[in-house]
Every structure is written in C-alpha cells, then in structure tokens.
C-alpha cells in the first residue's frame, strides 16, 4: 500500500478514535480487536457486525461499545452481537416427602434432600447467573454411627458402661430412624518409644500390678457397621483395656483410618456419625518425631486384618488434614470427652465443620444422651460448601431460612434450627470475570456439609460471538487473505495488524512510520507508553485493566490525576488525560472544592453573613473583625442593638451622638414608626432573622425598636414615644424622712431607758446581797473606838488613876 494512503488512513483512524475516547465508554477504551475480545470486557458491551458501520479510516475497535451507543451510532439492531448467559437444569428430582411410619421404604440412594441435582450454566464475563437450591431434611433418613473409643487404662470403668451401648442406642435411635447401623473401634497409641514401653513384658501386658491388659496397639476396627445391636454388645464385651506411657493419645491416627477406610468400616452414602470418646488430649502432626517418625501422614487406608499397621511409619495427621478427609467423606464428628478436656476439644470443634462436643461423665454412663443431643444439634444446621472454583469464577450465597430469616455473606451459606420436614432455600449466584485459558467447560460441586448429596454445576463460558463460527478464513477482504473476516471485521492472522490486516509486524517499524508516533517531533515514540504500529500508536495495557493509556501519542492516562483524601479526583470526578473532569457542583484540580453553599449560610440566611465569600463550602471572611464558620462571630464588635442605637435615636427622635451627622451616616436602613411595643414585629411572624432592642438615652428614657434584613433591605421598626421615668413626689419623701428621724429618736430613748433600768436593778441586787452578808454588833464593831483612855504613872506605886 502506498505510504501516503496508509498515513491518511492512520490519521483518520486516530481522529475517529479520539471521538470514541471522548465517549468515555469502557468498551471503547478496551481497544477490542474482535467480537470475542469485546464481549469479555463487560456485560454491557456489544459488537456491531454491520460491514458498513465504520467510516473511512475508523479503527475496528470502535465496533465495540455499549449497546445504547451502538444504536445511537446507527448500527443495525440485528447486527449487534450481545450474547447472554443461560441456566439449564439437567436433573431436577423433587425432594423426598415421606413419613417414618409410612409403608413406603426407600433405599438411601432413593432419598432426595437437595434440589436440583445438576445444572449447566453458560456464563458471560461480568454477568452473574442466579439459581435457587432447595434443601429439606428427610424424615427417617438412614444413619451410620461408628463409636471410636480410647482403651487406655484410664478408660477402664468407661468400657464397662459401653458394653451394652449397642442395644440401648439402637432402641433410642428407633425414635429418629428405622434404618440405623452401629460400629465400634478402639485406639491407644503408636507402638514405639516413648509412647509405650517396648520391653518384652510391657509389650505383652503394659499395665502395672495385677491388672490384666491387652498388648498396646494404635487402632483396631472391632466391628464393621451393622444393624445388630447384640453383636455390638458381644464384641465390645470381649475388649480389654491397654496402656501407654504419655497422657495424649493417638486418636488422630484412628480418626484418619475411620474416615478413609470406607469399605472396611462399611460406610454407606447416608448420614455418617463418628463418636470419639476419650478422657485425654491428642497427638498431632510433628509429635511423631519424638519416636523417630518423620514421614507425614499420607491420608490413605492401611488396615490389615482390621489393624492399623503403619503407625510406626507415618506421623500423626495434622488438624487441617483431618478436616479435609472428614469433609471429603461427609463424616460428622461428635467428641465425647470428660470435663477436664472440654476447652481443648471445643477449640478443635471450631476448626472442624459439622462437629460437636459433649461432656462425658467419668464412667461414660451418659453417653447415649450425649450422642442423641449432639446428633440433634448437628442435624438442625445445614451449611453449604463448594469445591475448588476455576480461576476468575466467584460464587455468592443468600439463605432463606425458617420463618423467612435471610442471611448474606458467610451467613448466606447456612441455616440453623431446622427440624425434620423443614424446607429451606438458597439463592446462589455464579459469576465469571474471564474465560479460562483452555476454553473448556469446568465443573464445580456444591453440597451440604455432612451429607453425601451434592449439586453438580457444569460451567460453559461464552468466549466468542456466534457470528465468529460463520467467519471466512483467509478472506480476500483482509488484505489478500491475511485474516479471517468475521462479525463484519477482519481478525488478523498472527504477524499481521491493521484494520484490514494490511501491515506486517516485521515491516512497520520504519523511520517514516515512527515519525507519526512522535509528539511534537520529540524523541519518545508513543510517549514511551505504547508501540508504533503501522504509523499509529497502540498503547500498552496495564496490570490493572481499569488503568488505561490513551491519546494519539499515548500521552494520556486515567490514573495520574490529582488526588484528594487519597482518592483519584477526590472521588467526585473522573480522570481524563491526566486532568480531572469533575462532577456537577465540584471544581478544583482534584475535584475537592464543593460549589454547594449550604454550609456557608448564616442564621440570617445570607452567605457568610454578608461579610465573606464561600469557597469550597468554607467561608473566607473579608472583614478581619469577623470570624467563625459563617463569619458571624465578632469578638470586638458591639451587639446589633448597640451598633444601630445612635442611628435609630437620631432618625426617630432627632437626638443622640449622631444628631448632626444623621443624614450622612444613618440612611442605610428603612425606618418605620409604630405607636406602641405591641405593634413591633414578632419573631414568629417573620420568615427572616429579627432582633428586638431596648436602649436608654442620655435622659434615662428608654426606646424600643427591631432590626431585620429582608431581601437585602435593612428594616427598623421603632416605637415613636420614649418611655421616660416620672419625677419624684417631695411630700411623701419629706414626711418619710421626718417620720424616720422621730422613730429612730424614740427608739434610741427607749433603748437608753431600758439599759438604765437594767443597770439600777443590778446595783440594787448587789446592795441587798451585801446587806444580807453583814453579821457584826456594837461589841464587835470593827470601826467602834472607846472614849476612855487609861494611863499609868510609873513613879506612883503602880496605881493608876482614871480621868
């Protein structure tokens, strides 16, 4: 082909491709080159098979678009390829309805508890298909029960009570099912040191003293499942206790053999119960190294003459290995253990689906009630599980349980509290995200845990369109047979590219063609994000299919735009050519700026209180005095009433500080006078914010007014008369003062008189008291002096003379 014609066709394809990119369709962006590729993009994508659909030079990937776009672009409806998935039910046997006491006796394989039994789903990528699955617990459903017992020495008294278990349990189980079989097995420990003593005497009788015990063994199948309870009693009565050295027992070896040796145990495809009875813990994978056993358990049957012969060769199984085998063989486990080991086995129960734990009395006397209770608990719950899913296939569950209770997620897999005869249903959705690499059908199976019945689902995948089967190989339309003409377009052979396979991959990388793939005559071909093919850039695909390179030179992408809150374009737009295209009401380089103003509205209904601008939903206050989320807070501003007081006073009463400048400073509001306060607007009567004010002038007179903003007009209603206080009444004041003085004087006189009376009475009482204390007379008066003086002359004979 002439190089100039090729260049013209390439440029036309680029222009048309740019138009398609603007449509923003995921189908267009996928750049699908065939109908099969197109329908794998999304379930909404269709392929136009009309040969005349494309214009000159338009890329054939433009045939792949969403259905509505194809119709708008005038694709003939009959030529639109849009295959849909389908569900075919291949086997749909109804669930069994029968009574336990009815005359009809069915074999286990004739009983159906799950419906449907087989389906075929034809899946298209991205399109989920949903079907309903029913489950009904059948009455009188057969049961196989295998009793696995620890026969170490500590279980001696338990063995005595188990010897009559067969007939007693048969009798009790007759209330549940008429088809019941029972088996018995026992275990002790691996027959190597240090688990048992290997001295010759201890190998014959491992018990001490005069106890008669049997030789130690790992696991022994004593009785294959049978419906003869007497045979169970007879064989169990013949069993003897054995012994070992350590406390944990080798029960896991026994459980593994019971699960995998189906023929030797005699399991049927019915309800399978395994009762594990012990009074000790358990060994698990890795413990075998103590005895020099390093090979992991192989999960196979090794019973010879009903004895496990490889306990010395294989290690104990792991818990995960046991879970797998018990599930594969539909065995429900009942752990009958003593109170001491309840916590250990309850943790084990949480790891093993469809298992239960019961408390065993010290001598196993309650074992029958324990088994009945555990069976009722297990059978009252149904849990669905599915096998391995093919790559790219997912499955979801929704349960519709008893009394219409619904569950989703993990709870959508199960229903609880189901009684015999109850029917529950599940809505199961299967979806494929891509076709399998081999293109072959896949099979998955869904079954209730613990049941042998299952649903088989055959998955077919729609990997190509129906029109592809009618394609013309090596068609002349595709540049001399270099491709297959199918679905209205050429599907090129290997090594050929282009709309009609006109280019060879080995011949197109020339300097002339590469120049068409360089932007602005640069050095990078296709911006280092694509390959130059036939003079046109084919952009690279990324691991994440949602991330796409685009543009004439692959210079654009949809994943390198600005981010906000760790989200591309803030989660409020989409990325086109490294630029955010914001949703309505958002702007900014990362679409993180909201144009909504609701968060900026102040209490007065104004945006930012009229004192700022709303930017990205946040107020930017233009007046520095105002702050707050809506510019309503002004710590240094007076209140509304104080702010307008002077202007209201000067305009209403021609007074106040602004009396001289009133006309200049106070014409910003409309003044309305009312006669009294009752005429002022009330807040309940208005649809806009209103403030009531009460202010006092220099003469101590009060005036009342309201301030409001309505439709950007400031209104002031004021009471036209001042409320001034009345002058004082002099006469009452003077009379009151005089009366007060008189009363105060009288009160003082009364108080003085009272104090004097009290003082006189106290003095008189004191005098009376002293008077009563006077006891002298005139002879002994201390102040009395005699009028007679007596003198003696010393020179006159000692005779005294009286005068």
**Which residues contact residue 728 at a Cβ distance below 8 angstroms, ignoring those fewer than 6 apart?**
none
Q: Span 226-241, mean pLDDT?
A: 88
Band (104; pLDDT cuts 50, 70, 90): low
The pLDDT value given to residue 400: 93
- The per-residue pLDDT for 14 is 37
Predicted local distance difference test score (pLDDT) of residue 194: 87
Note the pLDDT of residue 777. 52
For residue 366, what pLDDT band results from cuts at 50, 70 and 90?
Answer: confident
Q: Residue 395: its pLDDT value, please?
A: 94
Average pLDDT over residues 331-346: 91
Average pLDDT over residues 307-317: 93
- Residue 279: exposure state from Cβ atoms within 10 A (0-12, 13-18, ≥19): buried
Q: Find which of 4-8, 103-107, 261-265, 434-438 is predicted with most confidence, using mean pLDDT.
A: 261-265
How do 586-587 and 549-550 pair as beta strands? unpaired
Examine the pLDDT at 118 and tell me if it is beyond 90.
Answer: yes
Q: In the predicted model, what is the mean pLDDT of residues 627-648?
A: 81
Q: Please report which helix (H) or strand (E) contains residue 132, including its range.
A: strand 129-136
pTM of the model: 0.56
Q: Tell me the C-alpha distance between 348 and 150, whole Å.
A: 17
pLDDT of res. 5: 36
- 109 in helix, strand or coil? helix
- Position 541 scores a pLDDT of 67
CB-based burial label for 377 (10 Å; 0-12, 13-18, 19+)? middle
Instruction: Pick the closest to residue 278 from 319, 248, 306, 308 (CA basis).
Output: 248
The per-residue pLDDT for range 130-177, each reduced to its tens digit, is 999 999 888 888 899 999 998 888 888 777 777 777 788 888 888 888
Mean pLDDT (whole number) for 111-121:
91
> How deeply is 135 buried, as exposed, middle or buried, from its count of CB atoms within 10 A (0-12, 13-18, 19+)?
buried
Predicted local confidence at residue 612, as pLDDT: 86
Q: What is the pLDDT of residue 596?
A: 86
Query: What does the DSSP 8-state code read for residue 641?
Result: H
Percent of the chain with pLDDT over 90: 25
The confidence score (pLDDT) of residue 263 equals 92
Pairing of strands 331-337, 271-278: parallel
Residue 112 scores a pLDDT above 60: yes
**Among candidate residues 618, 617, 619, the one with its CA nearest the CA of residue 609:** 619
Q: What is the pLDDT of residue 241?
A: 84
Pairing of β 455-461 and β 118-123: parallel
Identity of the highest mean pLDDT range in 229-238, 517-526, 770-779? 229-238
Which among 399, 337, 170, 181 is positioned nearest to 273, based on CA atoms? 181
pLDDT of residue 139: 82
Which pLDDT value is given to residue 261? 95
Q: Is 715 helix (H, G, I), strand (E, B) or coil?
A: strand
Angle at 286 between CA 283 and CA 289, to 5 degrees: 100
With bands split at pLDDT 50, 70 and 90, how would you rate the model's confidence at 780?
A: low
The predicted structure's pLDDT at residue 323: 93
Candidate from 94-103, 279-288, 324-333, 507-516 with smallest mean pLDDT: 507-516
- Mean pLDDT for 332-361 is 90
- Residue ranges and CATH numbers for the domains of the chain are 86-99+109-139+384-462 (2.60.40.1510), 143-380 (3.40.50.410), 563-594 (2.10.25.10), 640-719 (4.10.1240.30)
pLDDT tens-place string over residues 367-396: 888 888 888 888 888 999 998 898 889 999
At residue 12, the pLDDT reads 39
Q: Is the pLDDT of residue 58 over 70?
A: no
Res 622: pLDDT: 86
Nearest to 288 by CA among 152, 186, 190, 188: 190
Q: Is pLDDT of 221 > 90?
A: yes
Which residues does 450 contact at the CB level (< 8 Å), separation at least 6?
271, 272, 330, 331, 332, 354, 378
User: Is the pLDDT at 737 greater than 80, yes or no?
Assistant: yes
Q: Alpha-carbon distance 539 to 523, whole Å? A: 17
pLDDT value of residue 100: 59
Name which of 282, 271, 206, 295 is nearest 243 in CA terms. 206
Reduced to 3 states, what is the DSSP secondary structure of residue 749? helix
pLDDT at 21 over 50: no
- pLDDT digit string (tens) for 394-426? 999 999 998 889 999 889 999 988 888 888 999
The percentage of residues in the chain with a pLDDT greater than 70, rounded to a whole number, is 89
The region of weakest confidence among 459-473, 557-571, 578-592, 684-698 is 684-698
d(CA 655, CA 503): 97
636 CB contacts (<8 Å, ≥6 apart)?
625
- Asked if the model's pLDDT at residue 9 lies above 60, the reply is no
Residue environment code for 192-207, b if the CB has 16+ CB neighbours within 10 A, otherwise e: beebbeeeeebeebbb
Q: pLDDT of 458-479, one tens digit each?
A: 999 998 888 888 888 888 888 8
User: Which H or E element spans position 613?
Assistant: strand 612-615
Taking the C-alpha atoms of residue 700 and residue 727, their distance in angstroms, rounded to an integer, is 12
What is the average pLDDT across 510-526?
75
The mean-pLDDT minimum among 18-32, 411-425, 643-657 falls in 18-32
Write down the pLDDT at residue 86.
Answer: 93
**Cβ count within 10 A of residue 215:** 15
Query: What is the signed CA dihedral for 152, 158, 163, 164, rounded to 10 degrees?
Result: -160
């Amino acid at each position: 082909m002439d190089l100039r014609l090729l260049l013209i066709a390439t440029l036309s394809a680029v222009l048309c491709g740019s138009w398609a990119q603007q449509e923003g369709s995921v189908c267009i962006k996928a750049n699908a080159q065939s109908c099969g590729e197109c329908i794998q993009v999304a379930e909404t994508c269709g392929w136009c098979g009309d040969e005349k659909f494309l214009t000159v030079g338009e890329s054939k990937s433009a045939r792949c678009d969403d259905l509505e776009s194809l119709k708008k672009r005038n694709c003939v409806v009959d030529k639109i390829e849009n295959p849909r998935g389908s569900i075919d039910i291949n086997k749909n046997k109804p669930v069994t309805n029968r009574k336990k006491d009815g005359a009809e006796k069915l074999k286990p394989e004739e009983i159906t508890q799950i419906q449907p039994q087989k389906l075929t789903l034809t899946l298209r990528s991205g399109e989920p298909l949903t079907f309903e699955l029913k489950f009904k617990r059948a009455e009188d459903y057969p049961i196989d029960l295998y009793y696995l017992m620890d026969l170490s020495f500590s279980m001696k008294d338990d063995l005595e009570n188990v010897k009559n278990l067969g007939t007693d349990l048969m009798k009790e189980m007759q209330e549940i099912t008429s088809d019941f079989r029972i088996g018995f097995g026992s275990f002790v420990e691996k027959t190597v040191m240090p688990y048992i003593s290997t001295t010759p005497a201890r190998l014959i009788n491992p018990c001490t003293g005069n106890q008669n015990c049997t030789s130690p063994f790992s696991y022994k199948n004593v009785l294959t499942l049978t419906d003869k309870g007497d045979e169970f009693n007879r064989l169990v009565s013949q069993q003897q206790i054995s012994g070992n050295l350590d406390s944990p027992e080798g029960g896991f070896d026994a459980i593994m053999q019971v699960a995998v040796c189906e023929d030797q145990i005699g399991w049927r495809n019915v309800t399978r119960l395994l009762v594990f009875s012990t009074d000790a813990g358990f060994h698990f994978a890795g413990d075998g190294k103590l005895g020099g056993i390093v090979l992991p358990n192989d999960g196979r049957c090794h019973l010879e003459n009903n004895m496990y012969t490889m306990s010395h060769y294989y290690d104990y199984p792991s818990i995960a290995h046991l879970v797998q085998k018990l599930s594969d063989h539909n065995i429900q486990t009942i752990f009958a253990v003593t109170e001491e080991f309840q916590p250990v086995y309850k943790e084990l129960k949480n790891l093993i689906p469809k298992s239960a734990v019961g408390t065993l009395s010290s001598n196993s006397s309650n074992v029958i009630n324990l088994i009945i209770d555990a069976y009722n608990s297990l059978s009252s719950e149904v849990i669905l599980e599915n096998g391995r899913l093919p790559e790219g296939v997912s499955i979801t569950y929704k349960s519709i349980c008893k009394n219409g209770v619904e569950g989703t997620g993990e709870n959508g897999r199960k229903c609880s509290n189901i009684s015999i005869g109850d029917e529950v249903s599940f809505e199961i959705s299967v979806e494929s995200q891509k076709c399998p690499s081999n293109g072959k059908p896949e099979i998955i199976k869904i079954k209730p845990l613990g049941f042998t019945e299952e649903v088989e689902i055959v998955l077919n995948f729609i990997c190509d369109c129906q029109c592809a089967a009618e394609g013309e190989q090596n068609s002349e339309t595709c540049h001399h047979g270099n491709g297959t003409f199918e679905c209205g377009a050429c599907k090129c052979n290997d090594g050929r590219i282009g709309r009609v396979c006109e280019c060879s991959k080995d011949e197109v990388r020339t300097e002339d063609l590469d120049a068409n793939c360089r932007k602005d005559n640069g050095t990078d071909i296709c911006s280092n994000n694509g390959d130059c093919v036939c003079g046109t850039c084919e952009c690279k695909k990324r691991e994440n299919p949602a991330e796409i390179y685009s543009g004439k030179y692959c210079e654009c992408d949809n994943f390198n735009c600005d981010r906000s809150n760790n989200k591309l374009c803030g989660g409020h737009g989409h990325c086109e050519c490294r630029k955010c295209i914001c949703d309505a009401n958002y702007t900014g380089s990362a679409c993180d700026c909201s144009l909504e103003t609701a968060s900026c509205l102040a209490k007065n209904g104004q945006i930012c209180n009229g004192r700022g601008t709303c930017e990205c939903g946040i107020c930017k206050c233009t007046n520095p005095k105002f702050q707050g989320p809506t510019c309503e807070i002004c710590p240094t501003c007076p209140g509304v009433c104080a702010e307008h007081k002077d202007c209201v006073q000067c305009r209403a009463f021609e007074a106040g500080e602004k009396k001289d400048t009133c006309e200049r400073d106070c014409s910003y509001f409309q003044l309305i006078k009312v006669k009294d306060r009752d005429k002022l607007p009330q807040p309940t009567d208005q649809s806009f914010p209103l403030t009531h004010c009460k202010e006092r002038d220099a003469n101590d007179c009060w005036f009342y007014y309201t301030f409001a903003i309505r439709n950007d007009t400031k209104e002031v209603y004021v009471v036209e008369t001042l409320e001034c206080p009345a002058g004082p009444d002099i006469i009452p004041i003077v009379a009151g003062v005089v009366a007060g003085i008189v009363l105060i004087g009288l009160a003082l006189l009364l108080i003085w008189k009272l104090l004097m009376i009290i003082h006189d009475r106290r003095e008189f009482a004191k005098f009376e008291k002293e008077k009563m204390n006077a006891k002298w007379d005139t002879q002994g008066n201390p102040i009395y002096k005699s009028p007679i003086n007596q003198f003696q002359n010393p020179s006159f004979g000692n005779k005294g003379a009286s005068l």
